């Protein structure tokens, strides 16, 4: 099932057969685990395979695709390592920074409450916010080099945070999708 949807998007034409198999396995396992973990453990749920791989829904596939999208950006250019002075942040930049800063407290809360759905919700909201950020603000054609570097750093930190959040739930994220 994930293979058909992925091929429809046309993003895997240059993948080798073994690479496609690994990607489909990653998507399928991620879809199942995320679908189960996204529900508060105190609530009941019914597994829906079709819903679990919806690229636009509250799914691992959505989060995985966002991670792959960020990796694609970072393959073109990596952020500089020196300090950046950016002045004031635009609202979407600030939203991303605030969300990224909340990660440690989300992990602590999920551990204390034995509730992995908090991590799933955080990963999904981070991916959703990044997509809005990326749609609204150009990373590669930013208005200044400082803004470009800031947005590249936000992108890199978002990818890393998604990777860690998903790994904590036992879900892999592909670099290409």
- Looking at residue 19, what is its pLDDT? 85
- Looking at residue 58, what is its pLDDT? 92
d(CA 154, CA 150): 6
Summarize pLDDT for 74-106 with one digit per residue, the tens.
999 988 887 766 678 999 999 999 999 999 999
**Smallest Cα–Cα separation from 126: which of 107, 146, 145?**
107
CATH 3.40.50.300 fits 2-168, yes or no: no
- Looking at residue 14, what is its pLDDT? 79
- Cα first-last separation, the chain: 15
State if pTM tops 0.85: no
- Looking at residue 135, what is its pLDDT? 96
Whether the Cβ atoms of residue 1 and residue 53 lie closer than 8 Å to each other: yes
| Cβ-count burial 69-90 (b if 16+ within 10 Å, e if not) | bbbebbeeeebeeeeeeeeeeb
- Which residue ranges in the chain fall short of pLDDT 70? 1-12, 45, 47, 52, 54, 84-86
């Amino acid at each position: 099932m994930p293979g058909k949807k992925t091929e429809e998007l046309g993003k895997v034409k240059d993948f080798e057969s073994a690479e496609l198999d690994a990607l489909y396995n990653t998507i399928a396992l991620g879809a199942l685990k995320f679908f189960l973990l996204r529900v508060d453990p105190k609530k009941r749920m019914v597994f829906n395979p079709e819903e679990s791989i919806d690229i636009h829904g509250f799914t691992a596939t959505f989060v995985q695709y966002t991670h792959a999208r960020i990796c694609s950006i970072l393959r073109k250019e990596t952020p500089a390592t020196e300090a950046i002075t950016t002045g004031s942040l635009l609202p979407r930049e600030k939203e991303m920074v605030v969300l990224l800063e909340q990660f440690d407290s989300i992990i602590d809360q999920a551990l204390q409450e034995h509730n992995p759905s908090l991590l799933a919700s955080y990963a999904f909201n981070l991916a959703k916010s990044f997509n809005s950020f990326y749609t609204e603000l150009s990373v590669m054609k930013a208005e200044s080099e400082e803004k470009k570097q800031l947005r590249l750093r936000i992108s890199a930190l978002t990818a890393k945070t998604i990777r860690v959040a998903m790994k904590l739930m036992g879900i892999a994220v592909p670099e290409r999708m």
